[in-house]
Structures are given as structure tokens and as C-alpha cells.
Structure 1
């Protein structure tokens, strides 16, 4: 021990006397002499005389080249791993100053130091100055440029190795293949594979494992398997690489079969093998299989491995065993931010938001600083719970930690503010992003759509398209939903044309959105055309088309499609039955409705929810079975909602059942005292019965409570611009032409047999005034504008915010025959297709 201490002190003095400005001389020299002693270079020489001899030989310039190169090699390695670039440059300067002659290994170590530490300029200078080179010389430069993200230089250097006549060995091939995978230059894998075959390395396990990684990263599992079969002596790395390829491509069965073969060959799994096997269990959603691998990992003492533990947490969480995942997490001896973030994410995305919050705060208490992924999961929990204040606090922390401009975190912030109804905050976050990506744009568009700001969503989509940002499946699905809400069919058709130019033309979710958009915009034929050309229909596809038929009053078509869905083996869900029951309600198919309502529980195990009961109440009530509707409400297993009572109230208005209607209105007003529709429907029912005193009382109550009747509004889209009309609205710039068209329609429809129904005017006014007030209803103004603006024969599509009155329905039937056009009107309940004097609802709505 004393000798070693004397030795270290002596060498330190030599180095310091040579003015070599090292800050870590003792550590470096200690490592150096440990190596010298371990190889017993000169075991019989006295340490003191050895040091003196070194000093003397150094002073006269006679340093042993082997010794000098070896010393510098150790120091360069130390700088690469520990002390850094500045120390490395100092040592390099000492080499130049002392005129030391380095061997090829020392030169390669120096080159590797500069490359690994990111100084490619000095690395190239060293490369150019090297007196000789071998294949290993090129590898550090390839790795260095790859580390800096240079896309062309590594491949160019690889070609130069071959061009300059250097031998391409397995290490060179493995290095360039790793670079190709890391940089996602996967198209070059075949080129490298060709070189490998040409030079006879295709059976090498080292090269084969790298080729397997390259092909699997490209999704070419069959090619990866061919490489695997060609390896003569497969080691655990080769087997694990192929198992990983199967697991990551979602082919869990293939991974399990290969693992069985590996065990038959007598190889023991390593931690990476277990990680891939657990991924396979996750893809198969087989928690019992995952548990068996967990037990195997315990037996092999691999359960404490970081990667195995993370894979266990992922497997249990995704296969529904979040408590088991937490148990594994609690067993971690050292938890870094990645493990914490992973567990928080699992809780947040599995709907256990309170647990996610609790774990996030525990991470802070454990002095582990959250990263952007931790915050993104935390913000997801905030958005799901509508926890605006917590989201604001997280926003403040993100600003302090300088994560504010991170696109991933900012997208989560935008989503949080949007779901909390604060698009102004979301817009502020978005506007400050230096380079928003497709996720950021999509978060804004989805936020606008969810809050009903369809026009803003369309404007932002236009900007996104002009900015050449990649439009994804989420973008198309969301913007089509905006078109559906606005009934903006022209813009929806333009987006459909844009989709046709992309690979999303065959994408099922995008096509589902197209079906929904066309159905809600009034073109059920276009909806069917999209549906009919789809190669695959999921449950969303079937539901979109069934609900589309139902919305358009095409009950028989909706029921026929539902039966066809059953025949194909698709299992209906609760949304399917909402569409079916609505179809029965719209057509008055009472027996069919009852049959489906009972089949839902008896045949498919679906418990009816409030929407199903509302459909049944509307079906029974509209057909005059008010007592049966009331009994159904009384027998419900839960408290009826305001929607249910409102449906019964609407039926009472149609059938003029004042007593039950009054009871229904009372129930509605008990839940929502300022509900405008209940007051209006009750007032209309009293007016239809001639009880004007009760009408006056209702209106007085409405004034007292500040409840105002929603005015009737209608919209029509002409050349991408939406025009709106109110009752007796004279503000439109084309009002003169509209009035002329209305007068012509009034005259021509009377000739066609239309007779005004003055009873629908629920005001105590003169008969002539009643007829005149009918012709200024908003939908008639919109239709008149469509007739003077659209080319002859072009369908006219109108949206109305209230239910179409009986007289307008009768008048529009006559209009469709007079003008020889299809007129489509979407009111608050459904679509009406008027053509040749008839309506698709067959006068039942």
C-alpha cells in the first residue's frame, strides 16, 4: 500500500513538473498504474527506480512508444467516459508538445473521444492527420455524425470504407445498421444486406442480429425471419432480437412460438427477452400469460431489472391489472422520472385520475423532478376532470421549468384548456408555440369542434393546410365533424376531395366521419355511397349509417341495415339500438320498437339507458299511447331525466292532453326552472285548446323569470357562405328578390292545391294576419333565397333550429312540386325530403 502511495505521488509530480494542466491527474495515473500492475509489465523492478527511469527517459526524449501510447490511450478513454472534452484537448496538446508517437490503437481512441463528445471538427482533423488507418478508424466518425443527426455523412463514410479498400468487418456492418435504424433510414437496410451477403457475413450472429433489428423496424417481419434462419450459431441476442420483432409488430403468438424453440435449444432468457415476452402478452391482452412470465422472471432473478420492471408495469396496466402494476412499481428500489411518469400515465389513461394526481404529488415529495411526459399525463387527468385550476398551476410550473415551448406539453395544455371551455387560454398557448406540429393543430381543431365553434375549426384547418402541416386521421375526422355540425356540405365535399388524394381514402375512421357528415348535411345518398364502397365496416360504420337513415326518416332502411349488420356477425352496442329505436319512433312502428327494446336486454345483454327510454316514450307518446308512456316512466330503474319528461310533453301537445302535459311540464320545470321549451310547449298546448288566459299566465311567468322564447331561425349554404334568416326578417341584401319569389310561390302553390292552416298560428289575431304571418316563417325565406340563387334543378338544403310547423310542411310539399326540385329541411328532430309534392316522413313526425 505504501509503495502504491509513493508511486502515485511520484508520477503526479512528474506530470505537474511537465506543466500538463490536468485537474484529475491522481485519478488518471491511479487507473494507469493499476493497469500496469495488473498486466505485470515489469514485476521485478523497484517502483521508485521505475519512476526515476520514466523521468530520465522522458527528459532525454526516449519514452517507450508502447508505454507512451498505452498511457495516452487510458487517458483518452478516461476523458471520453468521465472528465470531458476540455481535459481531452489538454492531453491531446500534451501529445503534440512532447512529440509522442502514438500507435494506431491510441489514434483511434483519440478519434473516438472527439466523436463521442460531439466535436466532429477536431475528429475530422485527427482523422486526416492519422499516419495509418484501419476499419475501426471509420466507425467513431460514423457514430459521431449519427449522434448529431446528420442524415448523409454516415452513409457516405460507409461507402468510402469500401471504396478505399478497407475490410468491412461485422463490427462496421453492425454500426451502420444501428445508425440506419436510429435515424429511420430504413430504405437502406436492403443495400447493406446485399453487401453483407456479398462478403459472406450473412451467417454471422453479430451482423444478423443488426439486420433483424433493421428489418423489424421497417415492419418486414418475414425478411427478418429469413435472416434469423440463416444465422448458423444463434446466440441469445439473435433469439431475443427475433422475439422482439414479433412482439413489437403485434404478433404475440409468433413471439411465444419462437421462445419455445429457444428454450428447446437450451438457451436461458435475459432481461431483454423477458421484456419482449411481456410485450407479447400485452399485445395478446393475456394477463395470465404475463403473470407466468413474471413468475419466470422471479425464478431467473430478473424481476429487479429496470426494463423488466417497466414492462411488467405496462403489461399489468394495459391488461386491466392496474393494482398489480402498482405492486410492481412499489417494488422498485430506485425509481427514476421515467418509471414515475409511466405509472402516472397508466393511471391517467385508464381513468383513475385521482390516483394519477396522488402519484404526481408523491413524485415531487420524493425529490424527483417531473419531465414533460409526467406533466402531459397530469394535464390529461386535469382535462378529463375539468380541473381548470390544477391545469393553470401546472402551466405555471411548466413556464418555470422552461417546458412551455415543448410541443408535446403544449398540446396537452391546449387540450386541457379546450375541455375546460377556455379556448382563449388554448389560443394563447398555441400562438406562442415556435413550431406547432400536427398534434398542436389537431388539439386546437378538436377543441373548437367539441365546444361547438365549427366555423373557427374550419378557418384553422385552412391555415393548417396552407402551412403544409401533415393532415392526419384525427384532423380529417374532427373537421368533418365540424362540417356535420354546421351542415356545411360544400366544404365537407371539398374535404372529401382532399381525402381522396391521400392514403386516408381507405381509412375506416375517416370514412365513418364522411358517412356521418353526409348524413347530417342532408345527403343520405352520398352517405350510402361512401358506406357502400368501404372495404371494412366496424361498429361505428354501421351505427353511422343506421342513425343516418333514422335521422332522415327512412325507418325501413335503418331496420334492414341493422338486420344485415347482425347477419355479418357484428355485435350491436347501445348506440346501435338508439338508432333503431329512433327509426321506429320516426315511423310510428310501435310493435317493432317494443320488440327491439326487449331484445336489447334479452338477446344482447345491453341495459337500457336514458336515451333508449326517451326513444320509447317518444314512440309510444307520438302514437297516442300516453298512458303506456307514463307507465314506462314510472317503471324505470332510475329517475327520469328532463329529456324524458320533455319527450312526453311534446307528445301531449300533439294529442292535446292538457292534464298529462301540465304534469310533464311541471316535472321539467322542477329540474330546470328556466327551461324555455317547456314554457313554450305548455303555452302552445293551451293556445291550441283556446285557453288564452292560461297562455297569458305562462307568458307572464316567462317574463318574470327572464325566460325568452328561442326565435325561429333557418340557414342555407350558398357557395360556401352560410345565410341565416329569422321570422319576418327583412335584413338580407337580396330581400327584394326574395319577396318577389315568395309572392310567386304563394300564387303557384295555391294553384297546386295548397290551403293555409291558420290554426298553427297560436296568436289571437285576425285571420288575414295569420295567413300573412305564415309566409314570413324563416324556412320559407331561406327556400325563396335558395330558389333565386341556385341553378335550376339544384337541390335546396335548409337547416331550422325548431320543429317545422304543420303549415310550412304542407306548403313546402307544394313548393317541391311547383319548382320541380328536391327540398331538404333539417329541423330540430329529423330531416324532411320534399320531392314531387311528397315528404319522406309520410306526414308522421
Structure 2
């Protein structure tokens, strides 16, 4: 009782006063001290035991393993073998976990051989541990083979293999195993649900995830925090943040993992303000934080460009034990880069004791995003000299840098390296190449690359359509726009704006009207970027009535919208109308910037209010 209540002081007093102690008493004390993390005392208890059984040895091995000393667990196991102590299935289950802790696959194979030699190969406990060991050592094929040969399987065996499939990114196989497991009418544990929800998240399978959620509720796991956290994480990664939030707020108890999941979910859909609010709520609890929490906080600051909050969070990180964590440092780098603080980003990068490929990609992207194309190329050279191989994200940033410099020669050199790496026709890199060649004026090469791509992305289509537009080949731009629609890809606002520009240049109002209809069909007419382009297109095509109508219907006008309307009137000789629009835009600009004040005098107030009404 005292041991289970974690009061080892009282437990030891009772133990000392016992007139007779048997092996069960000694094992209880050994188990208690190991469970409380006092392995030195546990070892003393073990050495003092007059007699030991297999439970004594298992408790010692398990104690060292639970307290993070896998090597010591193996040493105790070897001592067992030297003293020829009898083993049981639990011994093998524990020592196989120790092999995982040491990341020693070869030792795991030797333990497996010993299991066969001693006749435990048909034991379900030892077998389940073997399945788990092979899966976690990235030997999923061997894990599946051993599982299929097991004469007796229980829910632990099934759960171990399902978890192994998820750890090896075989999400579909994990869900298939679950269906087979249900046919065997076996129960489901919280760890099984956690693995299955991870599979649904990995596959973005909202339908199966929703069914699994209903299944977990039916099996009375609705109030389980671990299952609830895995479920909300699945909803967030399937872009159903509303459902994730509902589930988060319905949980009776929150843990650190549930906060991390909902913070990460908010960042995924660029809800930086809400993510920071959740971060602050977490800081007001006793749950603490970890590297995932801090990375989420920095990512939230990056989304909303909250530089000052990012600095404060950086200060919190310096005081914590997570400053040396490379994932946290990469998140700090990304935050400073997206906030435009390149000097801060470079200082963090230079002071990093350990860098990985993500670190290099982040600093390269930071310089490219802030228009430092030359520095972007220099960093690529430094990355290569540090023996880090560029990946698709590196090449994407560097190619954007070449586009910014209009440097075709540099871009062709990068293209050569991409060909050698075998990533030439990977969709992300291929799209970046098409964009680079297009912006550097080599539209024919861009066209060839676009047509040879296995999967043509929105970026690639936009690059080629925009490229022909800037090369004054508007007919070709419109032809590719038609091919894009035929391929089943829905245009975005940039595509529509580009093709409307070509309609304006060719004065093809009929095609422009058709594209306008498609914009309305896709409910994108409220996009200010598209509205501005429509105003410009109709005015250049001589249809000032429609241009004015679009202008008046645009709720959130920016300077481009106002300028398009003013230029349209001017180009058609309508000077008075142009000046009227110009006067209104100037008034609103002053009003927004606080340069017009409503005076106390009743007459002034009335005049200004009437002017506001006219503007609205």
C-alpha cells in the first residue's frame, strides 16, 4: 500500500520491522525503489537479498530501463546469463525494449535467437515484444513475417504491429490491420487508437478518422485524454480545425500534448494570433512546455510577423533547457527570417552548435524571402562546403533567388546540379525551374520543362502563363490557360489576374467576360487582387460602365484598385470623373491616417459626416 502511494519512507519502516521477510517482500521494496527512480537504493536492496527469483532480476532490469539506463539493463541481463538464472517471457520483453533504447538492432537479433533457443518463440508476451523490436528498428518486413508466424496473438501483438506500421509510414497497412483485428473481436487500447489516428492524419483520411472517432466513443474512450489528443490532432491535420477546437474544449483534462496539437493545428491554417493565445493559456497552467511547444510559439510569431513577441519568446528559450535543441533553433531562425530580422537570424545561425539540413534551408529561405538573392547563392556554396546535400526546399529557395536576380547563368548551373541529384522532374523543383526560366526570359525552355513534368502544379501553370504574358505573347498565354482548365486544375487569384491582364492587352472583352464568369462561379470576386485586375481589364477594353460597377462593388479597395479606376477614366478622356475618384481616395487616405478630425463645431461635423456618407 505504501509503495503504491509512493511513500517509500513508510514502506521501508514497515519492511525493517517485519519479523520474517520472504522473496515477495524484498521484490516489493526493489520494485518500489526502482519505480521511484532511486536505482542506487534498488541496487543495494537487490545485492542484500538472501534469495532472488526471476521477478527480482526482471524488476532490476526494468528499473534501469525505466530510468533511462538501457546499457545497465543489458549488463544485468548478461549477469543473469552468466549465473544461469531461469528466465521468463517478461525478461525478454524488457531486454528487447533495452535494445531499442540502445538502438542496437544486432543485439535484438541475438535476443531473438535466444528466445528461439529457450523455447519462448510461441509465447505471446515474448512474441509481441519481438514484433515491436523489429518494427521500431525499421525492419517492418521482418516484424510482419514474425507476427504472421505467431501461433497465438493478443491485442498487444496487434497493437505492436499497428504502431510499427505507423512508425514506418505504412499508414494504409496500419488501417488494414485494424480492420482485421476487429474481425478477431479483440479489444482496442488507447495506444492503438493513438496509432490509428496518426495513420488517418498521415493519409488525410477524414472519413475514416471520423468513423474511428465514433468507434472510440462507443468503446468508452470519450473522456480519455490520450485518445482525445490523438483525435484532435487528426482533425487538425485533416484541415478540420473547427472540429479539433471543439474536441479540445470538450476534454475534461488537458495535457501538454493536447495543447501542442491544437497550437500546431492553428499554425497549419495560419491562425497565428489564436495559436499565441493558446500558448499564453498554456503558460498559465502547471503543464510546462517542451521543444514542440516552443517551436509552435515561434511559428505563430512567424505567421503574424510578431517580432517583439518572438524576442520575448527567445528570452524564455534561453532560460530553458531547450536552447540547444536544433528543432527549436530552426524555429527561431524561421521566425526572425519571416519577420525581416536577418541580422538576428544570421546571429542565431552562426551560434548554432549543431546544424542540420533544415537549418541551412531556413537561413537560405530567410535571405531569399527578404530579397537578398546574392547572399542566397553564397549560402548555397557554404552549405555544399559543409557537406550538406541540397534538397527540394533548398533548390526552391535558390531558384527563386536566381529569378530575383534575373540570372539565367546561375539558374542553369543550379539546374545542372538538380539533374545530377535526380530531382529534375519532382513537382516542387520542376515548378521552381519553370518559374526561374520564365522570369529570366527563357520562355521556350520553361515551356519544355513544363510539358515534361509528370505532375504539373499550380506554380508551374502560373509561371508559364505569366511568362508568355510578359513576353508579349498573349495568345500563347491564353492557350495555356485553356489547357490548364482542360487538365482539371482550378485557377487561383494570380492565374485569373494574369490572364485578365492579357485580355486587357489584347482588348478581348468577350474572353475577359467569360473569365469573369468563372471567377464568380469559384466565388473569388471579393478578392481585392482580382477586383483590381477586373477594373483595369474592363477599362482597357473600353467598357467603363462595367469597370465602374466592379469598382463600386469592391468592399476592401486598396491603392491598386483606386489607381486602376483613376487611370481608366484618364485614358478615356474622362478627366472630371478621374479627379472626383482621386479626391475621394485622398480624403479616405487622410481619414485612415488620422489627418482629418471631426471638429466640435456643428457645421464642420455635419459637412465631414456627409462627405463620409458620400465616400461610403
1:131 is aligned to 83
> Which residue of 178, 202, 207 corresponds with 2:127?
207
2:414 is aligned to 495
For residues 521 and 329 of structure 1, what CA distance do their matches in structure 2 show? 49
Q: Say yes or no: does 1:642 pair with 2:559.
A: yes
For residues 142 and 634 of structure 1, what CA distance do their matches in structure 2 show? 71
CA contact (8 A) 1:480 1:492 kept: yes
Structure 1 residue 202, shift from structure 2 partner:
8.9
Structure 1 residue 350, shift from structure 2 partner:
3.3
> Which residue of 484, 490, 503 corresponds with 1:571?
490
Structure 1 residue 217, shift from structure 2 partner:
8.2
2:350 is aligned to 431
For 1:409-420, what aligned pairs fall within 5 Å after superposition? 409-420=328-339
CA contact (8 A) 2:112 2:130 kept: no
CA contact (8 A) 1:555 1:587 kept: yes
Say which SS state the counterpart of residue 513 (structure 1) adopts. Answer: helix
CA contact (8 A) 2:525 2:531 kept: no
Structure 1 residue 311, shift from structure 2 partner:
1.7
CA contact (8 A) 1:310 1:339 kept: yes
Provide Cα deviations, 1:341-395, integer angstroms capped at 9, x if missing partner. Answer: 2222223333443433333232232222222222222222222222222222222
For residues 84 and 169 of structure 2, what CA distance do their matches in structure 1 show? 48
2:38 is aligned to 84
For 1:613-628, what aligned pairs fall within 5 Å after superposition? 613-622=531-540, 625=542, 627=544
Query: Are the structure 2 counterparts of residues 492 and 663 from structure 1 closer, same or farther at C-alpha, using a change threshold of 3 Å?
Result: farther
Q: Say yes or no: does 1:530 pair with 2:481.
A: no
Q: Say yes or no: does 1:445 pair with 2:364.
A: yes
Structure 1 residue 115, shift from structure 2 partner:
6.0
> Which residue of 525, 533, 540 corresponds with 1:607?
525
CA RMSD of aligned residues (A): 4.3
For residues 119 and 484 of structure 2, what CA distance do their matches in structure 1 show? 56
For residues 322 and 312 of structure 1, what CA distance do their matches in structure 2 show? 11
Structure 1 residue 550, shift from structure 2 partner:
1.8
For residues 245 and 83 of structure 1, what CA distance do their matches in structure 2 show? 29
Query: Are the structure 2 counterparts of residues 432 and 566 from structure 1 closer, same or farther at C-alpha, using a change threshold of 3 Å?
Result: same
Query: Are the structure 2 counterparts of residues 450 and 219 from structure 1 closer, same or farther at C-alpha, using a change threshold of 3 Å?
Result: farther
CA contact (8 A) 1:202 1:231 kept: yes
For residues 116 and 338 of structure 1, what CA distance do their matches in structure 2 show? 21
Structure 1 residue 597, shift from structure 2 partner:
2.3
Structure 1, unaligned runs of 5 or more: 6-22, 34-46, 52-66, 172-200, 674-845
Q: Say yes or no: does 1:458 pair with 2:377.
A: yes
CA contact (8 A) 2:128 2:160 kept: no
Structure 1 residue 335, shift from structure 2 partner:
2.8
Query: Are the structure 2 counterparts of residues 359 and 119 from structure 1 closer, same or farther at C-alpha, using a change threshold of 3 Å?
Result: closer
1:521 is aligned to 440
CA contact (8 A) 2:294 2:328 kept: yes
CA contact (8 A) 2:493 2:529 kept: no
> Which residue of 152, 155, 158 corresponds with 2:106?
155
Write 1 or 2 for the structure with the bigger share of helix: 2
1:597 is aligned to 516
Normalising by structure 2, we get a TM-score of 0.79
Query: Are the structure 2 counterparts of residues 128 and 591 from structure 1 closer, same or farther at C-alpha, using a change threshold of 3 Å?
Result: same
Structure 1 residue 524, shift from structure 2 partner:
0.9
Structure 2, unaligned runs of 5 or more: 591-616
Say which SS state the counterpart of residue 44 (structure 2) adopts. Answer: helix
For 1:544-693, what aligned pairs fall within 5 Å after superposition? 544-602=463-521, 604-607=522-525, 609-622=527-540, 625=542, 627=544, 631-632=548-549, 634-638=551-555, 640-647=557-564
Larger radius of gyration: 1
Normalising by structure 1, we get a TM-score of 0.59
For residues 100 and 159 of structure 2, what CA distance do their matches in structure 1 show? 25
Say which SS state the counterpart of residue 459 (structure 1) adopts. Answer: helix
Provide Cα deviations, 1:166-186, integer angstroms capped at 9, x if missing partner. Answer: 844687xxxxxxxxxxxxxxx
Query: Are the structure 2 counterparts of residues 512 and 533 from structure 1 closer, same or farther at C-alpha, using a change threshold of 3 Å?
Result: same
For residues 575 and 444 of structure 1, what CA distance do their matches in structure 2 show? 27
> Which residue of 138, 154, 176 corresponds with 1:235?
154
Say which SS state the counterpart of residue 447 (structure 2) adopts. Answer: helix
Structure 1 residue 336, shift from structure 2 partner:
2.8
CA contact (8 A) 2:15 2:25 kept: no
For 1:256-295, what aligned pairs fall within 5 Å after superposition? 259-279=178-198, 282=201, 290-295=209-214
1:731 is aligned to none
